[in-house]
Structure 1
């Protein structure tokens, strides 16, 4: 007779809400029941379909359960022992380093890695391999908002206030986010906002399920969000609706920013964006009339070759009306990936050290080097950003260690990235499943998942959370921390003591490394996270007896003088505009039943029933011009490649625009089409807009 195990409180492995859930293994140990946690303040018991079905990926029939090494005779991946697999990885990296230098070894991480794994991976790259060539897929997520936030406020934290403030504000401008499909449990905050009398403005080229909830929906041409923000600020200035006292007391740089705004008069903005002037004026009225208000941006304005300036323009709009740093108001970014926030705070980004310190800052280098027990001069400088790193594979970078990412599907110009991966001398992948990228590897390591390991993550509010181990991983599976420990023992004997396998030991070192930095975790401990009711602690939290910081900037901004900065920006076109050969805009995004590259969710039957494959969404007038009807196979073709999928003919998208979700590889891989043009500041690729033509197949 089996005894029913006790439930374990933990968090969802998918998006940055990090919804609270409970996991209860069945008495026979053959399955895990998932239920929402009503006591967790972010989701209050609600879970989307991905969260409800998250345990399906724990199944042995779905996930990897043993190492694989490519057989030189057959060219196929074949089962191997852990010792053989680790020896092969260490040998491949060591050969590359000996022949071509440390920077010929690349490391690519993921926004789903825990804080402990992200920290250890960055440390491994810099002091074991000695390479500067490390970045992660979070560069593709919210790097433009991070850069804009740093410029304006001196600090980047996705939301500088908890989500609970959102329903209590007077007006929300939501730019380029479809919360109903990307973060369904968060939609209740918008529903409550409206129930409280607040107004919702949604800006999106498509009339999404989220836009259906809006009091006002603006549908600009893809790539013109910057002009739209400048046009709204122009009207605020012209109508005398800026908060001059706030600007005077809490900001700098307004005169220069205002001068640039005046060139973006309403009729010009209408020509650029396609948004009629009356609707532009209506949006300004709703926002300015509200006593409190928020601007929230997401991937729409960020994933552009001018994403940093675009987000900066929306921040300027918020600053000019006195919103940031005042109660129930402000600017925030809706982080996407599960640990996209923490993942970039602790060292797997090319230009950062733990604690969100700058790699180029001598004091930061000295502090972290002391924690690591190395000479600051031994730390490499900044390396390539994510796409630039992938583009250099097979050339200056000859070997790659990749953890928790699937760039064959998720990177822009993906067919080129796949070709670069194939050209490597050596590729090792550590992952939960055999993704499209893992299929190309010389060695594949099966690693533990969220429910099989303990670790911390940081959600979109800056709330540090403890994810607890609920079940034991299958035999043959090890943690990423064990992998890094064993590789260090092989590559730099003696240094492995600095790479413990227990997550709490890693986190305690992370706390010391982050102490005094912008993202200060020094006062956060496992004991505290386990004892606080599971609600988490907001960083910065420098003291163990300190409360954390749910709301930033109420007294001062994180700049040297405590004032926010207006940054002058001006509209410019996308890197690639439609022309006679490629006359239509393409924009990309997500659907509710799949997640990111789909490597995990595409292995869950109930999610595949809801979203079985890619599609091309186009307006009836465009479909009629092309002779396309619902369900026809169509090809979306750019200068870089093509993607083929069935047509969905809908009246909820602009006539000049088509949309494809990016969760699939194969013929429907839309990222074979997207443009890798990079933002000059954030190095974010322009996923959200490129020029294409649409062809009926057959």
Structure 2
């Protein structure tokens, strides 16, 4: 039997897949050949997904902690015992401290609308309890806000249109290691390819040209390219007059960013800036493909504002194959309000930022967080300032419930662990942020042991709490129909995917000067915001791994073997200045924390920059990972994370 499903992981590709089932056992998994983006291929990580589903160390039963927090010592208990303990603790906490002392912490372990972060599973229940709202700031929020200030929507060009481009700027993105399906459209285009990345990645090596600016200087580079374009009179005056606002002010700002000034900011040669600017000036259509990594710094939102302006100056927004692709999420018009039911809130509640977990858990007032539900997340491995996150999770007065598949670093700090279903075992629907397709996921097999879907877990908890609100007990089919109002659900279920009609981009008039940004306290002009880490040393980039997806697959033995030891790549000049040789053990440190690694000496990184992949678990890495060095500090827009605005020193050990 063949069952259509969808990869739930935090990747723009949101692949459609086909599960082969024999006698109730999933025996095969492949990409759906019929899906126009998946085209039958999965990635090196997801190819092993069925190994994850059947892994011997998968969590299959509820557990209660028996040792100190962090020890990872648990005993098996029944669902009745687990739900009784959770209900009793929640009731006591809410009676004493109020509902806002409860924090449902959703991560990106699943991007499903029923079982994952996109639909905030359990939010109906938490709303009725008056719990704090969770703000998912760890991934793309700064860039999405920046794009909206310019375009009026966070939806950009259809990535399939890249096949029509003649020049493609791959800006801070490495699709051959992360989200590789877009590469097919890039190859189909025959376009001249430019990689803009501080690291010479696998993707950079396949491009015609590579520019390696200093991390966090992307907005300055974009303004410098615009300076070259405008100086040559290559702006599209007709498009600007008909479709934009604020051009005179923006033009004056562009004039300030001469190639010489931008070279000093970015560390690039003047000739590189002028050469690329002239190429953009004479090439239509030009497309920019950017991804989330480049906006994880102090000026990340501003950088995406400027990138969204560039096709407005050249007129590429009006040409098929031109524009900016950052995320397609803004094109999916689903009834999220009907799914999450914020109308169930008894009163307004506070919002807690995902990337300030350590700070929020260590706050003792207003009220303190006393109950934490971790859903599809591994914050010990994924959040900034690992030391403070662990300190917060170690509080004996914090009641922590974790819904999980494996014994992650975060599970070790739980009071109660609840085993969750995996993607072939439950119903869900996804919307890719790297294409325009809704993807249906039909359950293919029964879950092992006593694993429950996230939706069913919260239905059972609501019943144990004695709550009578009917909306808390809607079935998954009912939830799906409420979410997909206006969409052909039956066709989606039969075919496995359905392309949505994108909205206009820009949505209205493109804003070179944004009144909305000014109203929010930001510069109305899209300018350059420099990096903010005050430390000395090297700028550390912690980009996506070839073998892990965030911290998912961090326990998979084969993928861990392929990934090898933790390595940090240093430029030969930086290594020599520190007396570090290739293969030497090193300690990477700043005032926030440190982690151990192995030095790899290579000119793949530019001088002044170090690089190490993210995704490792602390328990397999000497107790700390790269996130031990990263600050709980907000980017310019939306409270986004600053993983790449991080200075460290590297020492031999």
TM-score (norm 1): 0.85
Q: Which aligned pairs between 1:549-568 and structure 2 lie closer than 5 A?
A: 549=501, 551-553=502-504, 557-558=506-507, 562-567=508-513, 568=525
Equivalent position of 2:208 in the other structure: 215
Q: Is the 8 A contact 1:115 1:456 kept in 2?
A: yes
Equivalent position of 1:425 in the other structure: 398
Q: How many residues align?
A: 626
Displaced runs of 4 or more, over 6 A: 72-75
Partner residue of 1:91 out of 88, 91, 97: 88
Q: Is the 8 A contact 2:100 2:349 kept in 1?
A: no
Q: Is the 8 A contact 1:128 1:491 kept in 2?
A: no
1:630 to 2:582 alignment: yes
Partner residue of 2:12 out of 2, 13, 16: 16
Once the 2 structures are TM-superposed, how far is the Cα of residue 200 of structure 1 from its aligned partner?
A: 1.3
1:178 to 2:141 alignment: no
Equivalent position of 1:67 in the other structure: 62
1:414 to 2:386 alignment: yes
Q: Whole-Å Cα distance in 1 between the matches of residues 162 and 545 of structure 2?
A: 24
Q: Whole-Å Cα distance in 1 between the matches of residues 68 and 557 of structure 2?
A: 35
Q: Whole-Å Cα distance in 2 between the matches of residues 373 and 412 of structure 1?
A: 29
Equivalent position of 1:450 in the other structure: 423
Once the 2 structures are TM-superposed, how far is the Cα of residue 452 of structure 1 from its aligned partner?
A: 0.6
Equivalent position of 2:149 in the other structure: 151
> Once the two structures are superposed, what CA deviation does each residue of 1:354-402 show, in whole Å capped at 9, x if it has no partner?
8477xxxxxxxxxx69x949577x3525512212354211432221111
Once the 2 structures are TM-superposed, how far is the Cα of residue 12 of structure 1 from its aligned partner?
A: 2.4
Q: Which aligned pairs between 1:468-479 and structure 2 lie closer than 5 A?
A: 468-479=442-453
Once the 2 structures are TM-superposed, how far is the Cα of residue 679 of structure 1 from its aligned partner?
A: 1.7
Higher relative contact order (CA 8 A, sep 6+): 2
Change (3 A) 1:664 1:506: same
Equivalent position of 1:391 in the other structure: 359
Q: Is the 8 A contact 2:298 2:645 kept in 1?
A: no
Equivalent position of 2:140 in the other structure: 142
> Once the two structures are superposed, what CA deviation does each residue of 1:622-669 show, in whole Å capped at 9, x if it has no partner?
222222222211111112000111111112111211111111132350
> Once the two structures are superposed, what CA deviation does each residue of 1:478-515 show, in whole Å capped at 9, x if it has no partner?
110011112222335112x313463221122224xxxx
Q: SS in structure 1 opposite 2:56? A: coil
1:661 to 2:613 alignment: yes
Q: Which aligned pairs between 1:539-554 and structure 2 lie closer than 5 A?
A: 549=501, 551-553=502-504
Change (3 A) 1:285 1:503: farther
Change (3 A) 1:410 1:632: same
Q: Which aligned pairs between 1:253-652 and structure 2 lie closer than 5 A?
A: 253-334=246-327, 341=329, 355=335, 372=341, 374=343, 378-381=346-349, 383-394=351-362, 395=364, 396-423=368-395, 425-460=398-433, 461-491=435-465, 493-495=467-469, 497-500=470-473, 502-511=475-484, 522-531=485-494, 533-538=495-500, 549=501, 551-553=502-504, 557-558=506-507, 562-567=508-513, 568-579=525-536, 583-598=537-552, 601-652=553-604
Q: Is the 8 A contact 2:122 2:455 kept in 1?
A: no
Equivalent position of 1:132 in the other structure: 132
Q: Is the 8 A contact 1:674 1:686 kept in 2?
A: yes
Q: Is the 8 A contact 1:106 1:134 kept in 2?
A: yes
Listed as ranges, the gaps of 5+ residues in structure 2 are: 514-524
Q: Is the 8 A contact 2:595 2:625 kept in 1?
A: yes
Q: SS in structure 2 opposite 1:262? A: helix
Q: Is the 8 A contact 1:22 1:34 kept in 2?
A: yes
Q: Whole-Å Cα distance in 2 between the matches of residues 375 and 113 of structure 1?
A: 23
TM-score (norm 2): 0.91
Equivalent position of 1:167 in the other structure: 163
Equivalent position of 1:361 in the other structure: none
Q: SS in structure 1 opposite 2:539? A: strand
Listed as ranges, the gaps of 5+ residues in structure 1 are: 1-5, 336-340, 347-353, 358-367, 512-521, 539-548
> Once the two structures are superposed, what CA deviation does each residue of 1:218-238 show, in whole Å capped at 9, x if it has no partner?
100111112111111122222
Q: Is the 8 A contact 1:676 1:687 kept in 2?
A: no
Change (3 A) 1:680 1:206: closer
Q: Whole-Å Cα distance in 2 between the matches of residues 430 and 684 of structure 1?
A: 25
Once the 2 structures are TM-superposed, how far is the Cα of residue 681 of structure 1 from its aligned partner?
A: 2.0
Change (3 A) 1:272 1:120: closer
Once the 2 structures are TM-superposed, how far is the Cα of residue 182 of structure 1 from its aligned partner?
A: 0.9
Q: Whole-Å Cα distance in 2 between the matches of residues 258 and 571 of structure 1?
A: 14
1:680 to 2:636 alignment: yes
Change (3 A) 1:485 1:525: farther
Q: SS in structure 1 opposite 2:443? A: coil
Q: Whole-Å Cα distance in 2 between the matches of residues 392 and 374 of structure 1?
A: 25
Q: Is the 8 A contact 1:170 1:292 kept in 2?
A: yes
Q: Whole-Å Cα distance in 2 between the matches of residues 612 and 503 of structure 1?
A: 41
Q: Whole-Å Cα distance in 1 between the matches of residues 67 and 58 of structure 2?
A: 24
Q: Is the 8 A contact 1:127 1:379 kept in 2?
A: no
Q: Whole-Å Cα distance in 2 between the matches of residues 125 and 110 of structure 1?
A: 18
Equivalent position of 2:650 in the other structure: 694
Q: Is the 8 A contact 2:113 2:428 kept in 1?
A: yes
